[in-house]
Each structure stands twice: as C-alpha cells, then as structure tokens.
Amino acid sequence: MKYYQDTITGQIYAFENHVNVEKLMQTNRNIPKTLIDKVKEKPSNNHIWYNGDWIHEKNKPIAYKEPISKIPSYDPAWITFLFEPLIIISKSKDDFVVSLNDINTNLYDTRILSKFIAKLKNYDENSQLDILVTFDGSIMLPIDENYNTPEKAVNKFNEIIGALFLGGILVKPIDLIKLQQGCIIENGGSNFSYTPSPNNDFRNKSASITERIKAHHPNHIQVEEFVEAYNFGITIIYKINFSPIFLALGYHYLNQGKIAESLSNLWIVIEQLTDFLYTAKIDSSILKILKRALPKNINIKTKHDILHETKIINEQIFQVLKCNREDRNNLLHNGIIPNRKNVLQLWTTLLELLEVATSTKIEKLQKNSKIILNRNLENHIKNVTPKKTNFEQWKKDEESLPYL
C-alpha cells in the first residue's frame, strides 16, 4: 500500500501499489486533487490540521475553522418510498417483466427499480430543483438549505403525499422512520439509498424468495396517472388553507378500524374547511353584520349553524357534522369511542365540503377510497365466532392461575 495526504484537510488516503494516483486525481471525482505523497502523521488526538500541518489545539487561532475538503457532496438526497414493495410506476406493465424462473434463481435485473421515471414540479419559492421519482416509487428531495433538517424533509414529503392522495393515489403520510438518505449515482439516471429497507432489499436482490414472488405480478401505476394525480392535488393544496396530511391520516386510520384516531384527524380538516367556508363563501355584507353582532371568536358549532342558515351547507351535511361534533366532544371529555357509522359518513361529507370550498370535483379520491373502505368495513364488523365453541381447556387453565 502507498499513502497520500490531503493538504487541505490532513486526511490520509491509502492506495494499492499499482494504482496511478496522479491519474486517479484527474479522473475520479471522489479523489481530492490536493494529495501529496509526503505524509505527516497526526501526533495525538489533541492535534488539529492547520495550514498544511498539525498543531496542538491550545495553539489554534481564535478564528480557526475546521478545514473542509474541496470534494463536494454530490447530489445528496432525502429519499422515501411511497409504497411497500412491489409497486411499479411506468408507462407500461411490460417495462418490468420477471419470470418464475428468474425469481427462483434471483437473476433478474433489478437496476430498473432505482431509475428515474418522472419529475414533479416543486412549487416552493426558494427551491430550484424538482422532485425526482423512480420506477419503484421512491421520491427524492435535495439535501440543501431548503430541506436542511429531517423535519423539513418529512413535512415536504407529506405535502407531496397529500397531493397524490387528493389525486386519488391512496398513499400514507410518513414520519422520521420512513425518511432515508442517499444520492444520485455517478453518471446519473438512478438514485441510491444508504438505509436498509424492504424496498432496498428488492433493489439489492436480498429479498427472500417469498418476498420476491411479488416481482412476478407487481402492482402497476401509469406514470401519466401518477403525475396527473400530483398536479391535481397540489393545485387543491395551494388553493385553500388546509392540511392534507390529516385528511390522509384520517382515511388510513378509518381503513384500519381506528375510529377515534380517524375522527381526531378528520375533525382538524373539518375545522380548517369550516373557517375557510365561513370567511370566503358567506356574502360580505352578511359577514359584516355577523362580525358586529357576534363575539370575535365564535365556536365551530355557531359557524356550522350560520353556514347551514345561509345554505352554504345542506341539511344532510349539517346533521353529519352535528353528530360527529358531539362524538368528538364525548371522545375528548369522556373517552367514549365514536360511532363508526358517523365517522364513515363524515369522510364522505368532508370530501363534499372540500368540493364546495375548492369548487372542484374530487372524483378519483371519492371513488378509490369508497371501494377500499367498503371492502375493509366488511372485515371490521364481520362476526367470526365459530358456530360451535368449547372453552373447557380455557377454564381449566384459568382455574390453575391465581389472581396476582
């Protein structure tokens, strides 16, 4: 081995003896061009690199700053996967075809999974870079000043997810656990994630054979449909002030049978839409009279009453809101689980309110969510008790155990 030192940072690099380091410095973007073959060993952990040499920490200048390599971090990225494996976003189902023999031998080409298939416009004023999308449903944001913390990245990803959700693609909001870091690979065209995950197992061919079978019949989303959903949803998000993440969470909790969590999230959106409808849809002359006649901070019940009286919301919507407002108060103050039927009606009503607020039909979200909710509701309320039961052994084991 032969050793070289970076004159900027003091970092030492090791190379095989046969490697032409001078040539490598000119051709490899990850090798500093400031390497020399005269290496100065670090005397101790108390020494720091300064102006091409090691000095003791006690002698460092007042304005000392740790030296930074001239090699940039190339295309650092936040990455999250929108779907569990394996869902493919592409122009045609034929873009990813895997035979059973390929699955058994684990010899199929997975490189296509990380390739870029589309971009989504980033509407953040300060961002100069769009969102990149891969075949296997990962989306990317640059790690830059706009998204310099995990929290900012998660919030932006959830805005994107909210837009897709409004467009009818029923993706789930993410949290920090689902956030990954990676980059665009050298020479471009694909991304790479540093974080182990089921999606990366597919990419790296380390998924088990029982998981790999999904590659034989992967779910498929047309790339045009995907981009159209995002463009539709982001328009809604920027049209009115509301939080689509709570809309999506409310739906997914309802789909999982978590009724209290569903109502809690959906009610946040109800309050946001109520405020919007109250200020934007009531005639300005009537609103002026109401402001003079009513206290400054009126409650949501009063706003619902006024929206009902002014015929901005109909009787059916009004009654659904009333029932769920009562359920929400009982949950909040008494811990009573809400009525499932009421929350299901609230979901439909909320989409109707969203249409009133935006003057836009939310057809795909209505259609897709209804199909899945109806299918899963049957499983939630289905009586699975066997026709004939025997609990004799249970009783014997119960009797053998004392109360503690």
Whether 244 is in a domain gets the answer no
Check whether residue 218 and residue 92 sit in a common domain: yes
Whether 399 is in a domain gets the answer no
- What is the pLDDT, as a whole number, of residue 294? 77
Burial of 55 (0-12, 13-18, 19+ CB in 10 A): middle
The angle subtended at Cα 299 by Cα 298 and Cα 302, nearest 5°, is: 85
Question: How many domains are there within the chain?
Answer: 3
- What is the pLDDT, as a whole number, of residue 281? 85
Whether 118 is in a domain gets the answer yes
Whether 10 is in a domain gets the answer yes
Q: What are phi and psi of 265, to 5 degrees?
A: -75, -45
Least Cα distance to 278 among 238, 248, 240, 320 occurs for 240
Q: How many CA atoms lie within 13 A of 17 on its CB side?
A: 1
Q: Distance between CA 252 and CA 368 in Å, rounded? A: 13
Check whether residue 295 and residue 344 sit in a common domain: yes
What are the tokens at 89?
């976003």
Check whether residue 313 and residue 361 sit in a common domain: yes
- What is the pLDDT, as a whole number, of residue 70? 87
Check whether residue 92 and residue 195 sit in a common domain: yes
Three-state secondary-structure class, residue 190: strand
Whether 247 is in a domain gets the answer no
Check whether residue 91 and residue 205 sit in a common domain: yes
Q: Distance between CA 70 and CA 41 in Å, rounded? A: 21
Contact call for residues 250 and 339 (beta carbons, < 8 A): no
Residue 3 parent element (H or E): strand 2-6
Mean pLDDT, 10 residues at a time, the chain of 404 residues: 95 94 91 94 95 95 92 93 95 91 91 96 94 98 97 98 98 97 94 95 93 92 98 96 96 96 98 93 79 80 93 95 97 95 96 95 96 86 91 96 94
CA 399 from chain centre, in angstroms, equals 49
Q: Which domain holds residue 41?
A: 2-59
Whether 402 is in a domain gets the answer no
End-to-end, the C-alpha distance of the chain in Å comes to: 67
- What is the pLDDT, as a whole number, of residue 243? 95
Sheet with 12-15, side-by-side order of all strands: 12-15, 2-6, 35-36
Check whether residue 264 and residue 357 sit in a common domain: yes
Check whether residue 82 and residue 230 sit in a common domain: yes
Q: Distance between CA 244 and CA 225 in Å, rounded? A: 20
Check whether residue 200 and residue 90 sit in a common domain: yes
Check whether residue 84 and residue 52 sit in a common domain: no
Whether 193 is in a domain gets the answer yes
Q: Distance between CA 235 and CA 267 in Å, rounded? A: 22
Sheet with 116-120, side-by-side order of all strands: 116-120, 131-134, 138-142, 76-81, 180-184, 191-193
- What is the pLDDT, as a whole number, of residue 282? 83
Burial of 121 (0-12, 13-18, 19+ CB in 10 A): exposed
Check whether residue 41 and residue 83 sit in a common domain: no
Whether 158 is in a domain gets the answer yes
Check whether residue 216 and residue 181 sit in a common domain: yes
- What is the pLDDT, as a whole number, of residue 381? 84
Provide the 8-state DSSP code for 313: S
Beta strand 2-6 with 35-36 is antiparallel
Check whether residue 48 and residue 156 sit in a common domain: no
Query: Which of 59, 87, 107 is at the close of a domain?
Result: 59
